[in-house]
Chains A and B, each alone.
Chain A
Amino acid sequence: MSALLEVRNLTTRIQTRRGVLTIVDDVSFSLEEGECFGLVGESGSGKSMICRSILRLPPTSPALMSGRIAFEGQDLLALPDREMTRLCGRRIAMVVQDAIAALNPVLPVGRQIAEAMLEHGVAANRRDARARVLALMRKVGIPAPERRIDDYPHEFSGGMCQRVVIAAALACAPRLLLADEPTTALDVTIQDQILKLLGELQQEMRLAVLLVTHDMGVVAQSCRRVAVMYAGRIVELAETAALFDQPLHPYSAGLLSCVPSVDGAAEEATRLRPIPGGPPDIADPPEGCRFHPRCPLAIGACQSGAFPLFEVRPGRFTACIRHEELARAGNIWAEPMPAARAPEAAEAAE
């Protein structure tokens, strides 16, 4: 399969009051046609900035980016602004976390969904656009679109606003949808609806989706492949099923096992073992592997040098030089605690 999007050695810096910070550090991955690819990580890991880099949205700018972002064979970083504007919203669209803020409060939703179609000449005229908007609203599950097309964003719930934003993103039938935490602000039953809607649309329109999230459950539900980010770098990249089955980076393993689960009787007696400490300050990251200060498997060699991704098996990449030890050790983050509900023995000793 040919790659629709190919990101090679992308480094994104941004200008802040604290100087120029490297937010995305030498990141490479690719997306195939129609694929849902997950970027997972915590706040500050650089995952959202990758989306913004692809569209060259502020605070990123081509001048502070290096590497290559090839979309349908064109290098987006080298594209003149006018060409880039023609791609944005037509071939590549974006959905963000805060749908209510993403919409213009003083324009009816129908006008906002139609905007990109008229701008890019996809709709012949306003009447044509209106018919297309109604069809899109129906497609994304907005009830009674004829009655709602002239309503304003404040007349919609958060979940319905996200559907409006998705409809606007799909207006020009893009090939790539950048979805930056599209369900994080939503309630769990609405999140479930939106994820399933995205799944259907992706199938139906052969749409490639870059899904940015902090939630491994969302990745498991939606993504074929996933890249785990930590402090600006990809630390593991694999097919979702393979990564969940056997993570090959201690951080991915930690993300999977430090989160409680809604089911599984065996875990009743297990105490979560958290990843100690916190993510590093991006202005002053640790030398070597950036995860080493928090890693139970870290050795001297982890404290210096470069930690690029390497291919362990076809399609399985990790940046961890200790991945064999990790695989052998089983779950380094699990701590059997038969007395999970009664740790007073240890505490009483104090």
Chain B
Amino acid sequence: MSAAATLIEVEQLSKVYAPAGAFLKRLTGGARQRLTAVDDVSLSIRAGEILSLVGESGSGKTTLGRALLRLVEPSAGRILFRGEDLRSFAPSRMRAARRHLQMIFQDPYSALNPRMTVRQTLAEAMRVHAIHPAEEIDDRVVELLETVGLNAGQADRFPRDFSGGQRQRIGIARALSVRPAFIVADEPVSAVDVSIQAQILNLLLDLRERFDLTMLFIAHDLSVVRYVSTRVGVMYLGRIVELAPRQAIFAAPRHPYTQGLLRAAPRPDPGRRSTTVAITGEPPSALDPPSGCHFRTRCPMATALCAEARPALAEIAPDHLVACHHHAAAMAAWTGAAAPHH
């Protein structure tokens, strides 16, 4: 563990959905189907860091991010924020706590109310949480707009007057309006164009420094994750399979899935074309995941053991956690194969 204090401690968090129709099926005697979106996840988020969650669709990263803020109610586990379990909070206390826990959404179009001006959007949360006297709110709106690179003259416009990148800036300003300690950013750049992406990423990095923010950054794009993260958690079918500082994830990945993801990422380098597929097959259904290690059906190193026992997420090097029975062999294979990018 590094010296940084823990801001949020997630302990054995799970989110299980019973799919639509499950109730009827149960009445008619059918087997009950359950979808475990987040499967017994434990991790700590350290003050001041950007912890990224990366994984493919269905890996549970968004559900985990939302469960952490109780935007979806977890099925089990604890979320300790500054030492107190958010799940034990009564609704009124939770509402007050939300001031410290904000979210930036993926889709800058649907995340803003089309009938509210930017000023109304930004003022709303400040009013709800009574952070500023009413007469100061206008000044604060202007300040927020300038902080995210918009200008005061745009305060009375509606979302439709802004481009996707600008709307994402408004979403960021809204999250900042209540001076939160922690922000979950759910794929904040996947809906904006490539030339705008870097603007938003740099803005987030600047704001993190300036306001001493801690962030959970959810993304599927490894290059983006590499650019912004302090640490990275890799998810597969609801579980964290590897969790390590950014440098270690990208230079010395130890889980075969992380290694495959890195190999699969298209690189802007025509000299390094490859014709071999990085990971064969498709993710199995979350309704019927494989026994033991969920990744074993696509894993080149899988053995009988992988079907029998779920590998624990264990610290195999300082601050480097991996859930793989064969992590030593996987690491040797990575180093031996002269990883495609080193």
**Residues in chain A within 8 A of chain B (CB atoms):** 42-43, 157, 159-160, 187-193, 195-196, 199-200, 214-221, 240-241, 244, 254-256, 258-265, 268, 271-276, 278-279, 342-344, 347
Which residue of the partner chain B has the closest CB to A43?
B193
Assembly CA distance A344 to B209 (angstroms):
6
Chain A nearest CB, measured from B295 CB (Å): 11
B194 close to A (CB within 8 Å): yes
Q: Are B194 and A192 in contact (CB under 8 A)?
A: no
Q: How large is the interface on B (under 10, 10 to 19, 20 to 34, 35 or more residues)?
A: 35 or more
Q: Are B277 and A188 in contact (CB under 8 A)?
A: no
Chain A nearest CB, measured from B267 CB (Å): 5
B198 close to A (CB within 8 Å): yes
Q: Are A262 and B279 in contact (CB under 8 A)?
A: no
Which residue of the partner chain A has the closest CB to B278?
A192
B65 close to A (CB within 8 Å): no
Q: Are B341 and A262 in contact (CB under 8 A)?
A: yes
Chain A nearest CB, measured from B198 CB (Å): 4
Q: Are B223 and A259 in contact (CB under 8 A)?
A: yes
Chain B nearest CB, measured from A265 CB (Å): 8
B227 close to A (CB within 8 Å): yes
Which residue of the partner chain A has the closest CB to B199?
A274
Q: Are B222 and A262 in contact (CB under 8 A)?
A: yes
Which of the residues B262, B280, B341 comes within 8 Å of A264, measured between beta carbons? B341
Which 3 A-B pairs have CB atoms at the shortest separation, nearest pair first?
A: A217-B266, A263-B341, A274-B198
Chain B nearest CB, measured from A189 CB (Å): 4
A-B residue pairs in contact (CB < 8 Å), sample of 19: A42-B194, A187-B56, A187-B283, A189-B264, A189-B278, A189-B279, A191-B264, A200-B275, A215-B266, A220-B269, A221-B273, A241-B270, A244-B268, A260-B223, A261-B267, A262-B223, A271-B202, A274-B197, A276-B199
B221: chain A residues within 8 A (beta carbon): 188
Which of the residues A42, A241, A271 comes within 8 Å of B193, measured between beta carbons? A42
B135 close to A (CB within 8 Å): no
Assembly CA distance A344 to B207 (angstroms):
10
B320 close to A (CB within 8 Å): no
Which of the residues A157, A195, A258 comes within 8 Å of B282, measured between beta carbons? A157
A195: chain B residues within 8 A (beta carbon): 266
B165 close to A (CB within 8 Å): yes
Which of the residues A157, A216, A217 comes within 8 Å of B265, measured between beta carbons? A217
Which of the residues A221, A273, A344 comes within 8 Å of B266, measured between beta carbons? A221
Q: What's the dominant secondary structure at chain B's contact region?
A: helix
Q: Are B195 and A255 in contact (CB under 8 A)?
A: yes
Which of the residues B197, B269, B283 comes within 8 Å of A244, measured between beta carbons? B269
Per-residue contact bits, chain B 264-296, to A (CB 8 Å; 1 contact, 0 not): 111111111111111110110000000000000
Which of the residues B227, B260, B270 comes within 8 Å of A220, measured between beta carbons? B270
**Residues in chain B within 8 A of chain A (CB atoms):** 56-57, 163, 165-166, 193-199, 201-202, 205-206, 209-210, 220-224, 226-227, 247, 250-251, 260-280, 282-283, 341-342
A215: chain B residues within 8 A (beta carbon): 194, 266
Chain B nearest CB, measured from A98 CB (Å): 14
Q: Are A342 and B209 in contact (CB under 8 A)?
A: yes
Assembly CA distance A157 to B271 (angstroms):
32
Chain A nearest CB, measured from B262 CB (Å): 6
Which residue of the partner chain A has the closest CB to B166?
A278
A279: chain B residues within 8 A (beta carbon): 193, 195
Q: Are B210 and A347 in contact (CB under 8 A)?
A: yes
Q: Are B220 and A188 in contact (CB under 8 A)?
A: yes
Assembly CA distance A51 to B207 (angstroms):
41
Q: Are B264 and A217 in contact (CB under 8 A)?
A: no
Chain A nearest CB, measured from B230 CB (Å): 9
Assembly CA distance A254 to B195 (angstroms):
8
Given A42-B194, A255-B194, A264-B341: A192 and B223 within 8 A (CB)?
A: no
Chain A nearest CB, measured from B60 CB (Å): 14
B202: chain A residues within 8 A (beta carbon): 271-272, 274
Chain B nearest CB, measured from A259 CB (Å): 6
